[in-house]
Structure formats: C-alpha cells, structure tokens
C-alpha cells in the first residue's frame, strides 16, 4: 500500500454526479489554492455499509464546509450507477439527498493511482488476462491541503466503516498546525492545548 502523505495528490479527470447532475471532466484540481479536500473511496453502489458512510458525510457536510473543506466521494461504479442510487430514498437503502460530488472511477485508474484498488489484472499460464479480486476500492480516505498535498490518509478493509468524528478531528488538527505552528498530540481535539513544534519536519512544512 503506497503512502501518499507528503506527496502531491494524484490528479484525474472523470465523470461525476454533483448535486444530482452528471458532469464531465470533474477534477480535484479545481479546489487547489482555495479549499481543503476530503477525498474518500467506497467499494460499491447499492450496498449496505457504504450508504451509512455517504449519509454520515452528508449529515456532517456543514461541519466540513465551515472548515473550508470540500467533500468528494468516489467508487469504481459508473456515473449512471451513482445517479440511479441517488434516486433511491434514504429509507429504502438509497443515497437520496447526497449533494457532494461522487466521482465515477469506471476505468479503475483513480483507485489504482491512490493505491486502494482491491483486485488486479494478471496473466495466466496461457497468457490470458484474468482478474484477481473484484476491482473495487478499499475504504480509502485522503485529506488534501490547499496546495494539493496529502496530509492524512486512512485505508480500511471492505467490512470496516470509518469515523466522521475522526475525519473532522484530522481537519481541525491540520488547520490548527497551519495557523499556530503547534503540533497536535494523541486524541487532541479543537479547543485543547497543543504543543510547540520543534521537529525539523514541521519547520520545513511551515517554511514552504
């Protein structure tokens, strides 16, 4: 599993559904210089754990927006699959009401670039292409700063849902460090005391 922290987030252009409308050539590059991005992958449309996460991000959207964070989801389904799932009400197992962008990684290249693709293509003994796994995405989450640099990443296996509270805590920690130059210890939460930064790596980050 690649560690993208400290590196430029892989760029892409793909179809997406944004507030119920299909758009072409969606890219995270549009946020660079102006917004933080919380970019998360989920395995499949029309499943069970995934809608709990998608709705949780929607329910907390105002919290992220107040912190100048754009929330963007992605799976290896098509944009039409995303759109169809959005037409299903929440109480029927759908994701009706989700307004943030859902990227369609139909070619699996985005998940591959972020190194969260479960399966892989292999050649068998007859030189025929086979697939190992389902070619879907793990539950990857990437916090990207306004310069387009990945500052936090988390990758869960398929059955393990994530924590919205922890995602918000990571945003708060990053923004506190950027504003005050103080590093945030274990379980730090917004409003608590942090620590003075002395390590070379934090100094270099502040100097960029």
Q: Give catalytic residue positions.
A: 50
Q: How far apart are CA 206 and CA 188, in angstroms?
A: 20
| Residue reference for tokens 């591959």 | 112
Q: Could you list the beta-strand ranges (E) of 14-160.
A: 14-18, 21-26, 36-41, 69-75, 102-104, 120-123, 129-132, 139-144, 150-156
Q: How far apart are CA 205 and CA 208, in angstroms?
A: 6
How is residue 117 written in tokens? 């693709």
Q: Could you list the beta-strand ranges (E) of 120-199.
A: 120-123, 129-132, 139-144, 150-156, 182-183, 195-196
Burial classification of residue 78, based on how many CB atoms lie within 10 Å of its CB (0-12 exposed, 13-18 middle, 19 or more buried): middle
Neighbours of 181 (CB within 10 A): 14
Query: CA dihedral in degrees (147, 204, 184, 34; nearest 10)?
Result: -10
């Amino acid at each position: 599993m690649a560690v993208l922290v400290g590196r430029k987030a892989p760029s892409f252009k793909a179809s997406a559904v944004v507030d119920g409308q299909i758009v072409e050539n969606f890219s995270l590059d549009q946020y660079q210089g102006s917004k933080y991005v919380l970019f998360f992958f989920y395995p499949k449309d029309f499943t069970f754990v995934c809608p709990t996460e998608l709705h949780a991000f929607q329910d907390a959207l105002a919290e992220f927006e107040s912190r100048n964070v754009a929330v963007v989801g992605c799976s290896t389904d098509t944009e039409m699959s995303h759109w169809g799932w959005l037409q299903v009400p929440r109480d029927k197992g759908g994701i009706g009401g989700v307004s943030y962008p859902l990227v369609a990684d139909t070619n699996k290249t985005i998940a591959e670039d972020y190194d969260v693709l479960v399966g892989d293509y292999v050649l068998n003994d007859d030189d025929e292409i086979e697939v190992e796994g389902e070619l879907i995405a793990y539950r990857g989450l990437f916090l990207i700063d306004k310069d387009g640099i990945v500052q936090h990443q988390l990758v869960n296996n398929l059955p393990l849902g994530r924590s919205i509270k922890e995602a918000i805590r990571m945003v708060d920690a990053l923004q506190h460090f950027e504003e005050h130059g103080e590093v945030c210890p274990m379980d730090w939460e917004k409003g608590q005391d942090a620590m003075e930064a002395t390590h070379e790596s934090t100094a270099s980050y502040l100097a960029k």
